[in-house]
Structure formats: C-alpha cells, structure tokens
C-alpha cells in the first residue's frame, strides 16, 4: 500500500519546552521581506505541482468541495468531506489549514537551500515560516493589504541576488490546470482562474471587495468580540439566543470576499489563496476562545481525510494544543484587542441601569438552501429598502447583513443533504444605527419599538431574491440585557425578549403563531 500524506505541521519541530514559531497577521507578514519572498515563490511552486499530486494546490483545494473525489485514498462516496453547520466545523478546518501550511513551508525550505547569499538567514526564515492570517477582527486590518487583493506584481528577493525584483503576485488568483475547471459548476467552469467580485469575464474587481469589507467591518469586529461572552462549544460554533456564532461570522467574510466569485461559493472557495488567510484567522479566534474558556468539543469523529498516521485520522480532542501538535502559535504583537477592550465594544450598547445595557438586534433565520447558493439578507433602518441594489452596503440607512455561505448544489454533498432542512440564524445588532438615524438618546423599548415599526426594512439577495419566493425567511426584533459585572472583561448575555409586532404581517417578517 502506498504511503499516504500525513498532516504533521511545519518542520523542523522545536526542542521540548520551546514555543512553536507564530503565524503572523498578513500585514506584518508582508513586511518581512525574507518570509514574504519565500512564501511568494513557494506558493507559485505549489500551484505548479502536477494536478495528479495529492500535495498539489489543485487536489488540496478540492478537499473542500468540487470535484467531489476521494483525496489520497480516503473514501468520500463522491460526496465530499464537508462538516459545515456541525460542531466539527472549527476542528475540521484546523488540520486542513495545517496541510496547506506544511506543504507551502516544505517548498519554502527547499527554496531557501538554493540561496547563494546569507544562507543561514534564509534557512532560519524558512524554518520559522508559517501560514499568515488575515486579522478581520480588527478595524485596522479588516481589509487585507494590496499585496493580497490588488497588486498585480510584488517585489521579492530571489536566490541569486539581494536586489528586489518584481514577480507576478500569486495572492491575487490561482490559475487552474488546463481543462481542470470543466468539473466546476457554472460560471466557474468558464473561468480559467479564481476571482473575487468577478465582472462578466470572471476578472476580479478589487475596489468592490475593499468597499464591501469596509462597509461590514464594524459588524465583523463587534460580532467576533461577542463570541468571547459565549461559554459552550455549540454556542461558540453555531450561535446563541442573541449572538452570531463563529461559523456565521466566517460566512460573512466568505460572502463579502467572494462577491459572486470563488470565496462565496462553497464548492470552489478553497482554490482561492485568500481562503487560507481567512481560515488561519478563524483558527486564531478558536485558539483565543479556548484559552479563555478551556472548553472543547468531545466529539471524537474522524476528521476526514486528514491522517495522523498511516492507519488513523485526526480527531478533535487530539488537536487542542496547536503549538505542541502542529508546531505553530499565534503572534501577540498584533493581537487585535486587549481582553478588556474585546468585551467593551458590543455595538456601543447604551446603559439602562448601573451595569446592564440593552442591546437591540434583528434576528434573521431561514433555511440555508432555499435560495440556491450563498446569499445575504440586508437590514436597513429605513421605512423602505433603498432602490439601488448596488448601493445597499454604502447606503446611510444600512445596518448590517446576515450572510449564508451555502452550497448551490447541496444534493452533491452528503453533509449538506443531511442538513437540508435545518434553520440557520444570525443577528444584526442595531443600537448604533438606531441612535444615528432616529436622533434619539434612549434605547428603552417605549422609544425603540414604535420607531422600528415604521423604520425597519430588509431585502435578500443572491442576485436579488423576491421575499415572497423565500418562505422560510423570518426577520424578528429582539432586545437582550447585557450584564457587565464590575471587573468583568465580557458582558453576560441575559434572556432576549422578542418584539414580534415590529415585523409581523410583513413579507419575511415574524411568522404568525
């Protein structure tokens, strides 16, 4: 039997007691010319590996969805390895990113060995190279640098000379092997490379990506901060009574990054190199949350197709310690918030009593696959939806979105089929936008409720979905008391109170009892 590729992490491993090298935030990473130079060259070499190689970008990208084939001898029944909408979502993606990381770093070490100057320094840079993460939990880094989303070329140091030279930027796109994209769903089967906010020909439009992320930045940051108030694994992963879970935040970043391109389509998302920056950040949030709460899933299902040994697969309880198990840590120099500031910003809640803030939220819930792919529900503090769809994100009445990263062909995926009728939910916290638009200074119910009855609207889009064709959609307003005890870092979420009359009777509103 042929040896199978194991998920082991970067090499060499440090001596006992020595911390693993850190993954760096992408802005800090691109400023390190040696690591950046090695990574850029290694990523391109990774792309160039033959598509029949299980360690190629083509095959590793395909683990996440199409072409729904067995990877490296692990049976999938032709229906993939998906774990979305389950408690294994966080843990399954950990060895997945490690697999990508170890292969890129393996190539980087080989490239470092070819440098004809400063060889020990290059060897050290390669040994410490880890997959960078995209720190979307910080307003300063929620938009990736130009080296990831805009620049057609980047400057690096080559092995034969320290002079900077320009090379094509592999962060922008991945070109599929000739003819390989024929296995994809439309329109991806007609485009030769990955794209973000594609035009009609499949070319990326980075200005649209930048503006979308800027529009959603505060929501993404606030929702990520709220995760630290949750204390159980399932609420952290899937959400609570008034807080969007990690997977929901992850969905928003996918949908806003893709804009109809790869990142917003489950079957082809992992071919875009930004996928691994995104999921390294998802993993970083998992690491931070675990360090605070010391809670992990006991589910010991195999995380297919990621092998621990030739005879066994990784399981969630075995991968808690990313430092010791997979040989990476997270930098603290660019840690986005202190513990106290993480807990403080909850959409700027307005204090109603000494230690309790009232937080108003719009809960959106629906069936994940009813629209036929990824979609968003936009919330506006306005008496009607703005007429120009292209301006929704930037409209002054825009309050936020509920985003679903959904497989357009769930019947092709075993896990998606199993969850076909599940209801997904998320929350748009509206205190700040309410105060801005209403010119009120109070968020007490007698002020908020009558205003929202007249000034709350919503719309759904895949392109643009007629709400009457979206019968499972239910938009509801609720108010949650957030208790912040003296000295506490994070608020305690109280029992939400639903105000059904605000949306009842409207298409997509509170369903009649």
Range 77-104 average pLDDT: 94
Domain boundary pick from 330, 345, 376: 330
Q: What's the rounded mean pLDDT across residues 476-492?
A: 88
303-350 residue pLDDT tens: 999 999 999 999 999 999 999 999 999 987 544 443 333 333 345 444
Residue 321, domain member (yes or no): yes
373 plus 285 within the same structural domain: no
pLDDT at res. 348 = 46
The reported pLDDT for the residue numbered 418 is: 85
Residues 389 and 322 in one domain: no
Residue 478's H or E segment, with its range, is strand 474-483
pLDDT at 351 over 90: no
What's 510's DSSP letter?
A: P
Whole-number pLDDT of residue 513: 57
Q: Does the pLDDT of residue 150 top 70, yes or no?
A: yes
The residue segments making up the domain with residue 384 are: 357-502
CATH number (domain holding residue 479): 2.60.310
Q: 429 and 313, same structural domain?
A: no
Confidence of residue 464 (pLDDT cuts 50, 70, 90): low
Residues in CB range of 372: below 8 A, 6 or more apart:
408, 462
Domain assignment present for residue 406? The answer is yes
Across 111-140, average pLDDT: 98
Say if residue 194's pLDDT is above 60.
Answer: yes
* pLDDT beyond 90 at 413: no
Q: What's the pLDDT at 339?
A: 34
In a domain, 192, yes or no: yes
Give residue-wise pLDDT tens across range 236-277.
999 999 999 999 999 999 999 999 999 999 999 999 999 999
Q: What pLDDT sits at residue 331?
A: 81
pLDDT of residue 114: 98
> Domain end: 293, 311, 330, which one?
330
Q: What percent of the chain has pLDDT over 70?
A: 94
Helix axes 246-258, 274-293, angle to 10 degrees: 160
Does any domain span residue 10? Answer: no
In a domain, 475, yes or no: yes
Q: Which pLDDT score, from 0 to 100, does residue 342 have?
A: 34
- Identify the CA nearest to 289 among candidates 247, 255, 257: 247
- In this prediction, residue 410 carries a pLDDT of 84
- Among 180-184, 280-284, 330-334, 359-363, which is the least confidently predicted range? 330-334
pLDDT at 448: 97
Q: Confidence band (pLDDT; 50, 70, 90) for 401?
A: very high
pLDDT of residue 414: 84
- Give the CATH number for residue 31: 1.10.1280.10
Checking if the pLDDT of 20 tops 80, the result is yes
If you average pLDDT over residues 365-381, what whole number do you get?
92
Whether residue 161 is found in the same domain as residue 207: yes
Q: What is the mean pLDDT of residues 429-448?
A: 96
Domain-located, residue 376: yes
Domain count, the chain: 2
> Which two structure tokens, joined as six digits, stand for 436?
């801005």
Q: At what angle do helices 119-128 and 33-48 cross, to 10 degrees?
A: 70
Give 1's pLDDT tier (boundaries 50, 70, 90): low
Instruction: State which H helix or E strand residue 161 sits in.
Output: strand 161-168
Which residues fall within 8 angstroms of residue 381, CB to CB, at 6 or more apart?
A: 397, 399, 430, 433, 434, 436, 437, 438, 452, 455, 456
Across residues 50-66, what is the average pLDDT? 96
Q: Does 171 reside within a domain? A: yes
């Amino acid at each position: 039997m042929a040896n199978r590729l194991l998920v082991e992490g970067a090499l060499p491993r440090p001596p006992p007691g020595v911390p693993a090298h850190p993954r760096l935030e992408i802005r800090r990473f691109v400023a390190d010319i040696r690591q950046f130079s090695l990574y850029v060259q290694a990523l391109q070499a990774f792309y160039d590996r033959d598509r029949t190689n299980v360690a190629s970008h083509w095959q590793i990208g395909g683990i996440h969805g199409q072409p729904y084939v067995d990877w490296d001898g692990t049976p999938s029944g032709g229906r993939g390895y998906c774990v979305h909408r389950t408690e294994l979502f966080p843990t399954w993606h950990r060895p997945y990113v490690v697999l990508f990381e170890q292969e890129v770093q393996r190539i980087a070490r080989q490239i470092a060995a070819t440098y004809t100057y400063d060889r020990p320094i290059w060897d050290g840079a390669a040994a410490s190279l880890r997959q960078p993460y995209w720190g979307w939990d910080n307003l300063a880094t929620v938009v990736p640098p130009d080296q990831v989303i805009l620049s057609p070329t980047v400057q690096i140091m080559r092995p034969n000379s320290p002079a900077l030279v320009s090379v094509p930027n592999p962060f922008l796109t991945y070109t599929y092997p000739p003819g390989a994209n024929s296995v994809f769903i439309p329109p991806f089967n007609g485009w030769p490379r990955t794209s973000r906010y594609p035009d009609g020909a499949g070319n990326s439009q980075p200005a649209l990506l930048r503006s979308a992320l800027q529009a959603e930045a505060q929501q993404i940051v606030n929702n990520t901060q709220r995760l630290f108030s949750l204390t159980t694994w399932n609420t952290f992963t899937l959400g609570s009574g008034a807080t969007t879970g990690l997977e929901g935040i992850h969905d928003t970043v996918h949908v806003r990054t893709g804009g109809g391109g790869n990142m917003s389509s489950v079957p082809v998302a992992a071919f875009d190199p930004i996928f691994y920056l995104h999921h390294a950040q998802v993993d970083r949030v998992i690491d931070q949350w675990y360090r605070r709460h010391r809670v992990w899933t006991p589910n010991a299902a195999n995380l297919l197709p990621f092998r621990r040994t030739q005879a066994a697969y990784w399981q969630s309880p075995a991968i808690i310690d990313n430092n010791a198990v997979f040989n990476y840590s997270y930098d603290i120099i660019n840690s986005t918030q202190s513990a106290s500031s993480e807990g403080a910003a909850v959409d700027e809640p307005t204090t109603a009593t000494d230690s309790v803030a009232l937080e108003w939220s719009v809960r959106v819930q629906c069936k994940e696959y009813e629209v036929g792919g990824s979609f968003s529900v936009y919330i506006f503090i306005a008496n009607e939806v703005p007429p120009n769809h292209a301006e929704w994100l930037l409209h002054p009445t825009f309050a936020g979105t509920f985003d679903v990263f959904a497989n357009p062909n769930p019947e092709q995926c075993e896990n998606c089929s199993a969850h076909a009728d599940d209801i997904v939910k998320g929350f748009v916290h509206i205190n700040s936008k309410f105060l801005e638009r209403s010119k009120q200074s109070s968020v007490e119910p007698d002020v908020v409720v009558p205003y929202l009855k007249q000034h709350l609207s919503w719309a759904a889009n895949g392109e643009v979905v007629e709400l009457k064709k979206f019968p499972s959609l239910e938009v509801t307003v609720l108010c949650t008391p957030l208790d912040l005890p003296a000295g506490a870092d994070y608020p305690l979420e109280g029992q939400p109170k639903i105000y059904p009359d605000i949306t009842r009777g409207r298409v997509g509103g509170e369903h009649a009892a």
